[in-house]
């Protein structure tokens, strides 16, 4: 950069020396304007390049998330994997590889939708105990997946969306408050159903 500037200044002074000698203030004003314009162009291009890379990273992560699939026998491990992936997405956000918190929120929603898609496909082969354990985890653990609240109060939260999906395949009377949650088993469910 320094060598490039030196070469440009040398070229400008060589070609416009007579103008500089006649009117130094006008020459320096014109030179300062050109330097400022070029600096702004470089900064703008740099900003555009960074935003473009961030969009590419977001698109890449979205594409990868939309290709996730798990074995029904590993459903509980799949639950842990989407939470681990959300943690990795937060790492990307923390390193400013994602443009803003909305991009991170979009990735969390993508993970939840992909997990719900997996549930829709594999539900008959997933044990009720796994569903119950996931519900217990949702209500008793703090996951980065649910950390960002929805921007609109009318929107269903990620947590409620996932719980509602699971309840479609594992209906039983869930505790009304988080304090009432404890580790449930299939027998507990059978007892609560009657």
pLDDT in tens, 158-181: 999 999 999 999 876 555 555 554
Contacts of 23 (CB under 8 A, 6+ apart): none
Q: Is 188 exposed, middle or buried (0-12, 13-18, 19+ CB in 10 A)?
A: middle
Is residue 192 within 8 A of residue 173, CB to CB? The reply is: yes
Return d(Cα 63, Cα 110) in angstroms, integer.
Answer: 10
pLDDT in tens, 9-64: 777 778 877 877 888 888 888 878 877 777 777 677 666 688 888 899 999 999 99
Mean pLDDT of the chain: 84
Return d(Cα 143, Cα 108) in angstroms, integer.
Answer: 11
pTM: 0.69
Q: Can you give the residue ranges of every domain in the chain?
A: 66-193
Question: What pLDDT is recorded for position 73?
Answer: 93
Question: What pLDDT is recorded for position 190?
Answer: 46
Q: Over the range 62-82, which residues count as b (16 or more CB within 10 Å of their CB) and which as e? A: eeebeebebebeebbebbeeb
Return d(Cα 165, Cα 114) in angstroms, integer.
Answer: 12
pLDDT in tens, 62-74: 999 999 999 999 9
What single string gives the DSSP state of each residue in 110-157?
Answer: HHHHHHHHHHHHHGGGS-HHHHHHHHHHHHHS--GGG-SPPSSTTSPP
How far, in whole angstroms, is CA 46 from its chain's centroid? 22
pLDDT band at 105 (very low <50, low <70, confident <90, very high): very high
């Amino acid at each position: 950069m320094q060598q490039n500037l030196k070469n440009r200044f040398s070229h400008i002074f060589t070609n416009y020396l007579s103008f500089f000698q006649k009117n130094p203030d006008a020459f320096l004003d014109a030179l300062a304007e050109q330097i400022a314009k070029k600096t702004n162009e470089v900064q703008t291009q740099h900003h555009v390049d960074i935003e473009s890379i961030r969009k590419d990273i977001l698109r890449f992560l979205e594409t990868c998330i939309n290709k996730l699939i798990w074995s029904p026998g590993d459903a509980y491990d799949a639950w842990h994997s989407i939470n681990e992936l959300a943690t990795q997405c937060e790492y990307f956000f923390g390193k400013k590889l994602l443009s803003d918190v909305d991009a991170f929120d979009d990735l969390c929603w993508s993970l939840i939708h992909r997990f719900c898609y997996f549930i829709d496909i594999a539900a008959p082969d997933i044990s009720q105990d796994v569903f119950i354990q996931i519900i217990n985890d949702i209500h008793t653990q703090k996951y980065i997946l649910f950390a960002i609240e929805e921007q609109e109060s009318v929107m269903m939260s990620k947590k409620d969306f996932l719980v509602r999906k699971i309840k479609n395949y594992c209906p039983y009377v869930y505790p009304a408050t988080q304090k009432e949650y404890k580790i449930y088993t299939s027998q507990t469910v059978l007892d609560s159903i009657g």
